Amino acid sequence: MSYKQRQQFEFQDGYTEQQQAQYTKYLTKLKSEFEKRWCTQAKFSIEFSELEPIKTLGTGAFGRVMLLRHNKTNKFYAMKVLEKEKIIKLKQLDHTFYEKRILEAIRFPFTVSMEFSFKDNSYVYFIMPFVPGGEMFTHLRKLGKFEEPLAKFYASQVILALEYLHFCNLVYRDLKPENILIDKNGYLKIADFGFCKVLQGRTWTLCGTPEYLAPELILSKGYGFSVDWWSFGVLLYEMNAGYPPFYANEPMKTYEKIVAGKYRCPSSFNSDLRDLVRNILQVDISKRYGVMRNGVLDYKNHKWFKGIEWDAILNCRIQPPYVPKFIAPSDTSNFERYNEEPILPASYCRYESEFIDF
């Protein structure tokens, strides 16, 4: 759908059923494009040797993410470097394979996607556009908490992104401020599809981050898209409070609090925000916003989002309340510093058969 067509159903406040029906047509088109890419092998027009590593932007359990420069175009990219051996030892082969295919197939304004991917004797490499504003986590810790207009601005984009992913049958499973990046225009890009998968029916895998886990996931019940909405509730709370709703020194104690569903809102939360949080952090999934009969419309029409123009947000036509500072396309000042380690592939191919489809 073109920019012009999308503009037609912009509306001042809330979202009517007709608007949602129109939007569903747009999502249906995005989904069929997702499915087409899902079934086609991606082709890349550049050589790995044309990419020059500059510095580390982040680290994780299986490898690191580095800033890269493409020497022919002078464009900058972020490259997730994953060590095959670690993936095998930590039993993440399926998750990593899904991560690659999902990154190749998704296209939405508020998610990252794959530009190129490569593999060598020891590593697999996922190359995405560089998102220079850094993690939401860094800004949240720096600012303490977000002012309400900023929290609303970010929350509305996360809702649209989850709506898109779920529409494509993708459950994300790792929503948290570390995985949400801020682009140069001040809008969000959700990164890290390491736990994302295509979901038909229910799944049982225990994965995610302790403070953000949904009760049904902790209790090893089969679960579905509801877990992402729970994590969204935790995120919404954390953006507005500066700390998460369920927290303890040990994960086990955190889990006890989560399954009990008991938390307190800081006095700074107004009644609309309290009401919204209460409707999301529902242990009983039949009462949780996002998975009830009205689906995402429960969010789009909630009082706390009064004044949010959902289609204008989608089209990035709202002036962001906050834009991270950055001076050049290769500026990494919004990222923490990490020790650099050389990438040294082995002289023979490791785990060749396991990674044959990568």
Ligand X SMILES: Nc1ncnc2c1ncn2[C@@H]1O[C@H](COP(=O)(O)OP(=O)(O)O)[C@@H](O)[C@H]1O
For position 179 contacting ligand X by CB under 6 A, the verdict is yes
- Does the footprint of ligand X cover residue 148 (CB under 6 A)? no
List Cα–Cα distances, 332 to 67, 113, 227, 340, in angstroms. Answer: 8, 20, 33, 14
Parallel, antiparallel or unpaired: strands 123-129 and 116-119: antiparallel
Who's near 77: CB < 8 A, 6+ residues apart? Answer: 51, 67, 68, 69, 70, 115, 116, 127, 128, 129, 130
Q: Choose which of 192, 238, 298, 311 interacts with Mg ion (CB under 5 A).
A: 192
135 is a site residue for ligand X (CB under 6 A): yes
* Dist CA 216 CA 224 (whole Å): 9
Identity of the residue, 31 or 75, whose beta carbon is nearer to ligand X in the bound complex: 75
- Looking at beta carbons only, is 179 or 332 nearer to Mg ion? 179
Instruction: Pick one of 128, 136, 214, 308: the residue that binds ligand X (CB under 6 A).
Output: 128
Closer Cβ to Mg ion, 19 or 209, answer by number? 209
| Contact assessment for residue 146 and residue 140, using Cβ atoms and an 8 Å cutoff | yes
Nearest distance from C-beta of residue 126 to ligand X, angstroms: 8
293 membership: H or E segment, kind and range: none
User: What is the dihedral sign for C-alpha 48, 106, 11, 182?
Assistant: negative
Residue nearest ligand X (C-beta atom):
60
Which of 20, 157, 179, 240 is the binder for Mg ion (CB under 5 A)? 179
What lies within 8 Å, CB to CB, of 289 at 6+ separation is 229, 233, 276, 279, 280, 282, 298, 299, 302
CA 31 to chain centre: 18
CA angle (177 as vertex; 261, 329 as ends), nearest 5: 170
Indicate which residue of 13, 94, 120, 174 is catalytic: 174
Q: How far is the CB of 1 from ligand X (least distance, A)?
A: 25
Q: Which residue is nearest to Mg ion (CB)?
A: 192
| 80 contributes a contact to ligand X by CB under 6 A | yes
60 part of the interface to ligand X, by CB under 6 A: yes
Nearer to ligand X by Cβ, of 83 and 311: the residue is 83
| 357 has catalytic annotation | no
Kindly tell me which residue out of 181, 188, 235, 258 binds ligand X, with binding defined by CB under 6 A. Answer: 181
Summarize as ranges the residues that interact with Mg ion (CB under 5 A).
Answer: 179, 192
> What residues act catalytically?
174
